[in-house]
C-alpha cells in the first residue's frame, strides 16, 4: 500500500507540471484530490487494513494530501501571475476612457431635518445656542425644579455615567439654564438643538437616542399666546398654511402652566396608524411657560420677566414631512433609506 501511495504522489506531481491553464488545473484537482481520486479511495480502504497498518498508511496518505494541496496552490498562483503578465504586455491602457465616479457623501436625514427646523426658527428671529450632552444632576434636574427624589424624575429614563451625579442628558431643557445665565438680564430668543438619550422601549415612534430642539424665549410680558403663536407659525412654515396643530394640558416641573402639542399625522391623513398610535395626531413635544423657580435659577427676576419653552422631536417632524413610517430607520444605517436623501 505504501508503494501504491508513492506512485499516486509521483503521477499526480508529474501531471501537475503539464497543467497550463485554469481549465486543466481544475481537471487535475478533480482527478487527484477529488472525492473519487485514487488518494481519496485509499482513505476509504483504511477500515479494511490490519490494525497495525492503519496508522502508517493513514499518516502517509495525509502527508501526500498536504503535498498535493500545497503544489496545487503554488501552481494556481503561478498560472495567475503568468496570465497577469500576458495581460499587461498584450493589452493597452486606453487613457481616453472615463474614470469611475467616486461615491458622493450626503448629509444624514437627521441633520437635514435639524437644519430645516433651525432655518424656520431663524426666520422668526431665534438664535442657535449649543449646550453639553453630558450634564450634572443639577442641570438635568435640580435647577429645573426637580430636586433629589422628586417623583417627576421617573419620566426621564436617564443614562447615568460612572462619574458621580453625571448623566447623558435625557432632554435639551438643561440648556435653558446655560443660556439664561449667560445672557441674564437681557431678553432671550434662542433654540438649542442636540442629541438626547433615554433608556426607552424602542418602537415605531420611540428611540433610545434622538435629536431634540429646545425653544426658549424670555422677556417682559411674554404670554402663553406667544407660545401658541410661535408653534403654530413654525408648523405652517414646515407643512403649509392649512396644517393642523393642537395643544393639550400636561405637566412638567419646569413649566407652569404646561402642555403638549401634537401635529396632524400626515402618514394616515388623521385616520390612525402605527406611528400616531391610532389617534390621527403625532406628539411632537412638550411646552409651557417657564416656571418662576427656573427663571430665578437662570438669573431672572420672575416678578419682572416671563418666558416660554418648548421641546421638539426633530425626527418626528421629519417623519411627517417625508412620510417616514418608522423612527428606527434614522439610526439603522440602511443605505436604501439614507440614499433617498
**What is the 3-class SS of 107-133, one letter each residue?**
CCHHHHHHHHHHHHHHHCCCEECCCCC
Q: Are 212 and 113 in contact (CB under 8 A)?
A: no
How many helices and strands, by DSSP H and E, does the chain display?
Answer: 11, 9
Where is 6: in which H helix or E strand?
Answer: helix 2-17
d(CA 167, CA 198): 10
First to last CA, the chain: 70
Residue 54's pLDDT is 75
Residue 237's pLDDT is 92
Q: What is the CA radius of gyration of the chain?
A: 36
pLDDT tens string 141-178? 999 999 888 887 777 678 888 888 899 999 999 999 99
Residue 1's pLDDT is 66
d(CA 287, CA 247): 9
Instruction: Tell me the pTM.
Output: 0.66
> What does 271-327 look like in DSSP terms, one character per residue?
S--TTTTTSSEEEEEEEEEEPHHHHHHTT--TTT-EEEEEEEEHHHHHHHHHT---G
d(CA 137, CA 160): 9
Enumerate residues 6+ apart whose C-beta is below 8 A from 256.
Answer: 288, 289, 291, 292
The one-digit pLDDT tens for each residue of the chain (341 residues) are 677 777 778 878 888 787 878 888 888 788 878 878 887 777 777 777 777 777 777 788 788 888 888 888 888 888 888 888 877 777 777 778 888 888 788 888 889 889 999 999 999 999 999 999 999 999 999 999 998 888 877 776 788 888 888 999 999 999 999 999 999 999 999 999 999 998 888 877 778 888 899 999 999 999 999 999 999 999 999 988 989 899 999 999 999 999 999 988 887 877 888 778 788 888 888 999 999 999 999 999 999 999 999 999 888 888 888 888 888 888 888 888 888 88
pLDDT tens string 296-313? 999 999 999 999 999 998
- In order of 181, 219, 253, 270, 294, the CA distances from 303 in angstroms are 17, 11, 19, 42, 13
Residue 324's pLDDT is 86
> What does 170-207 look like in DSSP terms, one character per residue?
SSSTHHHHHHHHHHTTS-EEEEEEEEEE-----BTTB-
Amino acid at each position: 500500500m505504501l508503494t501504491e501511495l508513492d506512485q499516486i504522489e509521483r503521477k499526480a506531481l508529474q501531471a501537475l507540471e503539464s497543467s497550463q491553464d485554469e481549465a486543466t488545473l481544475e481537471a487535475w484537482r478533480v482527478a487527484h484530490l477529488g472525492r473519487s481520486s485514487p488518494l481519496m479511495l485509499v482513505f476509504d480502504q483504511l477500515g479494511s487494513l490490519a490494525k497495525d497498518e492503519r496508522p502508517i498508511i493513514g499518516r502517509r496518505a495525509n502527508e501526500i494530501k498536504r503535498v498535493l494541496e500545497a503544489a496545487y496552490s503554488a501552481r494556481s498562483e503561478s498560472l495567475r501571475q503568468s496570465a497577469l503578465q500576458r495581460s499587461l504586455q498584450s493589452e493597452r491602457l486606453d487613457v481616453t476612457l472615463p474614470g469611475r465616479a467616486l461615491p458622493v457623501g450626503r448629509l444624514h436625514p437627521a441633520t437635514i431635518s435639524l437644519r430645516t427646523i433651525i432655518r424656520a426658527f431663524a426666520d422668526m428671529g431665534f438664535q442657535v445656542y449649543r449646550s453639553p450632552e453630558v450634564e450634572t444632576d443639577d442641570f438635568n434636574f435640580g435647577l429645573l425644579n426637580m430636586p433629589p427624589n422628586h417623583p417627576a424624575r421617573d419620566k426621564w429614563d436617564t443614562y447615568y455615567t460612572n462619574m458621580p451625579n453625571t448623566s447623558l442628558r435625557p432632554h435639551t431643557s438643561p440648556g435653558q439654564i446655560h443660556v439664561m445665565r449667560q445672557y441674564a438680564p437681557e431678553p432671550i430668543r434662542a433654540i438649542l438643538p442636540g442629541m438626547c438619550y433615554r433608556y426607552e422601549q424602542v418602537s415605531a415612534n420611540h428611540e433610545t437616542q434622538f435629536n431634540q430642539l429646545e425653544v426658549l424665549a424670555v422677556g417682559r410680558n411674554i404670554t402663553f399666546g406667544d407660545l401658541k403663536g410661535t408653534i403654530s407659525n413654525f408648523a405652517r412654515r414646515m407643512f403649509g398654511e392649512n396644517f393642523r396643530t393642537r395643544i393639550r394640558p400636561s405637566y412638567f416641573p419646569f413649566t407652569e402652566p404646561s402642555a403638549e402639542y401634537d401635529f396632524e399625522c400626515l402618514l394616515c391623513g388623521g385616520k390612525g396608524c402605527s406611528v400616531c398610535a391610532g389617534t390621527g395626531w403625532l406628539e411632537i413635544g412638550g411646552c409651557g411657560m417657564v416656571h418662576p423657580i427656573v427663571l430665578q435659577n437662570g438669573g431672572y427676576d420672575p416678578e419682572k420677566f416671563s418666558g416660554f419653552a418648548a421641546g421638539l422631536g426633530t425626527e418626528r417632524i421629519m417623519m411627517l414631512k417625508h412620510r417616514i413610517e418608522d423612527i428606527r430607520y434614522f439610526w439603522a444605517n440602511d443605505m436604501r433609506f439614507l440614499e433617498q436623501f
